[in-house]
Structure 1
Amino acid sequence: MGASTYYIPALALWAGLASKLPDLVRSWRDPLVRWVCWVIFLGGAGFAFAAPPTVAAVNRTSGVPNLAALLVYAVVSAYSASCLVLILHWRGGPADHVRRLARRWQTGYAVVIVLLALLFVRGGAPVERRTDFDTYYATTPWTGQMIVLYLLGHMTAAVATTVLCWRWAIQVHGWLRAGLWLLVAGWLLNLSFSTLKLTAVVARWAGRDLDVLSTVLAPGLVGLAATVATVGFTLPLYGPRLVAAGRAVVTLRRLGPLWRELSSASPRPLAAPIPWYSSCAVRLTRREAGIQDGLNLVRPHLDGRVRADAQSTARAAGYGAEDAFRIGLAAMIAAAVRAHVDRVPAARTAGAQDSAGFASRATLVGVARALRTSPVVGAARTAGPAPVTADEGRTPR
């Protein structure tokens, strides 16, 4: 497998870590934030150190053949422990109980890492193997036991994490449940990775060659597993934000006709400019504020008679009460914009009472749609404002 198969996931994970660093600085005392960062860092490190070019560089720099294999085993074992501890803190519960369980897993995998180092030193691995270390040294005394210990430790973490996430997933709902099921899938893939590796090792004990399971199939599974597990960890955090951003984009686009209609009545932008990198939520807030400013601008020309006539026409055409109401508001706005642009004197019947229906976002979206699609609104825009009667035009004494 090419080096990009290892380096691309590593860079992707570390890019995610970079996005989490501000949270770590602000909330470094929060164990959940700390362990999320550890999981992402160690996951990326596992890929980076397992890449054949990195393996060669570590072995050459250290002068110890296959030291990179021990380093990868230690990093993956630390990653396994970190995932378990993260799940414990994420699930929550009594603080003392969570700390006690987390300490047990940390201690257990610390012992595993120490044993891996001792077995590596005791067994020795004089011939450098960059991609098939597991199967090449499967029958070597002490080194073979080191390989089995590493694989069993990884399998233990995979089973424990899968069980924890499975039990939790059936108790919750929404984005958290989706994320947990992805974690279950990711760690089942991790379990498959360890199983394939162990199968190839056992085959070597029996004198058979199933190295392809360890050198070809297993690395592909672990890359997929890391991707699925990372999405599982981040989905409950970013899923609601993505949905909210998507809704903001849709609403922003749907309000476009109303924004443009009111903008045509103003000689300057309806709202102050904002930075190009502003979020969709900020852009939506700006657009809604600008629409309210535009309504205030044409308020003297908002004529209830235009609204009532358009609403009656829409009802006669078969529209429901709600749609007809929004069509009436849209027609009133279109006529008011034209009256403002043409500098037509305002009728005394116009005023705040005729713009009282614009309070909700849903109404504004409905009005924007009517401005774009309704022939009733088009007719009101063409006709312009209702004529001002003598009583309406007389200035009160």
Structure 2
Amino acid sequence: MTTPSGLSFYIPGALLFLVACAKLPALIRNPRDQLLRSVWVLLVVSTAVFWCCAVPSIAAFNRLTGVPNAAAPLVYSLLTVFSGANISLIIRWSSGPEDAEKAARWSRRCYVATAVVIVAINALFLLGDASVERLRDLDTYYASTPYIREMILLYLVAHTTAAITMTILCRRWAREVHGELRAGLLLIVGGYGLNLAYDALKFAAIGAHWSGRNWDVLSVTYAASFASFSALLIGAGFILPLLSQRFMYFWTPWRRYYQLRPLWRELRDASEHSMSIGPSMRTPIAIRLVQVEADIHDGILTVSPHIDARVRSQALVAASESSRSDEEAAATADAAALAHAVSVWRHHQAAATDPEEHMNDHTESLTSAHTPTGLVRMSVALSSDVVQRFRRHAVVAESSPR
């Protein structure tokens, strides 16, 4: 429900404005990114819609212009721009590079249709007579006034058409995607479902006025509440995938870094001559990740003469019984063979021996060690029972008298 102070509109508008400001540097760096530009325009328009639709803003604009109800065509125009921007963004967002030209063509058509509706709304307002200021119930108060009536109906028809179009486009696309993008699309669908309810209440209140009934509460109270909440859902639906993408951009390297730490610790003694960058809280995660991966590969190369293909084969049989996939079983077998090799290498280091039969490079036996994902799987597998069992076996075998 709207409040006389307009806080129910100003607060969401302020939040959207902050998001728009946060996106502005990225737009300045990439001015030709059409998708980013469309998102930023949508955020700005959403902010303007919230701020201009508040009752205090409507009253202030009327006083500023000296024209009663001058805010009406402004609000209707902004809402029409908002709907057009949504459709254009979804068209660009859902189109691949091969459909870029087609998406641009449909976006231009959307812009033209939006412009025509806005011109018609303002022309009808100039032709009509709305001399009595109505801050909350203009739709029903002027439902029978020539030209003003047509302005109101044109806006509602355009708004309803946009809501139906967006619902169809988003539902169709949501069936093809997953994750945060699908969640965002479902939020948009929910928002436009509320928009359709808003339109239905408006039409019902106007129809009741034409038949001599007073259903103004549907338009003034309930429809306004639906409009406010729907705009929040739609904005959240567009922002969620973008924020998630930004979060994953920072989260993914940190997650990989910590996933590789067990493997790095396993090989730490064997990679003591690897590159060394002094640890610091200010060291970028990219550099930390490069160092950890370099240490791991250096350690694998150091212990590679002691990697036993027979141990890996035995571990693969054991891992296949409990693993959920072939990749997981292979990574567990590789981790077991590597842990076994590290134990053998440490024994020879302590005994200061380096038998000739162990001087060959057997890194090719570790199939998982050649891909970034494989390294992570190996690191995770180090804590498995299979790896622990083969590590203990290596310790016992090397400590036994020969």
> When the two structures are superposed, what TM-score results if normalisation uses the length of structure 1?
0.72
Distance 1:40 1:386, change over 3 A: same
CA contact (8 A) 1:266 1:294 kept: yes
Q: Which runs of 5+ in 1 are unaligned?
A: 390-397
In structure 2, what is the equivalent of residue 42 of structure 1?
Answer: 45
Amino acid at match of 2:84: A
- Of 205, 217, 220 in structure 2, the residue corresponding to residue 215 of structure 1 is 220
2:10–2:51: 8 Å Cα contact kept in structure 1? yes
**Structure 1 residue 376 and structure 2 residue 398: aligned?**
no
The alpha carbon displacement at 1:353 in A equals 1.9
Match of 2:326 in 1: none
Residue type at the aligned position of 2:133: V
2:133 maps to: 127
Q: Deviations over 1:305-356 (max 9, x none)?
A: 6x8568758968996774445312223225546766x584444444562433
What one-letter code is carried by the residue in structure 1 that aligns with 2:119? V
The count of residues paired between Structure 1 and Structure 2 equals 382
Output the CA distance in 1 between the equivalents of 2:218 and 2:100: 42
Inter-partner Cα distance in structure 1 for 2:9 and 2:360 = 64
Q: What residue identity is the alignment partner of 1:355?
A: T
Which of 354, 360, 363 aligns to 1:355? It is 363
The answer to whether residue 349 in structure 2 is matched with residue 331 in structure 1 is no
Please name the residue that 1:58 is paired with.
Answer: 61
Match of 1:193 among 179, 191, 198: 198
**Residue 62 of structure 2 contacts residue 70 of structure 2 at CA under 8 Å; is this kept in 1?**
yes
1:310-325 to structure 2, matched below 5 A, reads 312=314, 322=330, 323-325=332-334
Larger displacement relative to structure 2 (215-224 or 191-200): 215-224
1:364 aligns with 2:355: no
1:249-306 deviations in Å (ceiling 9; x for gaps): 6554433321233346666996645876957x8765553333223434xx1585246x
Secondary structure (helix, strand or coil) at the match of 2:382 reads helix
| Segment drifting more, 150-159 vs 211-220 | 211-220
Shift of 1:194: 1.7
Query: Contact between 2:303 and 2:341, CA under 8 Å: does it hold in 1?
Result: no
Partners of 2:22 and 2:92 lie apart in 1 by 21
Distance 1:262 1:237, change over 3 A: same
Matches within 5 A, 1:229-308: 229-230=234-235, 232-233=237-238, 251-263=256-268, 272=277, 286-296=291-301, 299=302, 303-304=306-307
- How far apart are 1:60 and its partner, in Å? 4.4
Contact between 1:303 and 1:350, CA under 8 Å: does it hold in 2? yes
Q: Which moves more between the two structures, 23-32 or 286-295?
A: 23-32
Alignment of 1:158 onto 2:169: no
RMSD over aligned Cα, in angstroms?
Answer: 4.5
Q: Percent identity?
A: 33
In the superposition, relative to structure 1, how do residues 293 and 144 fare at CA in structure 2: closer, same or farther (>3 Å)?
Answer: same
1:218 Cα deviation after fit: 2.6
Is 1:9 matched up with 2:16?
A: no
Deviation at residue 76 of structure 1 after TM alignment: 0.8
Whole-Å separation in 1 of the counterparts to 2:339 and 2:85? 58
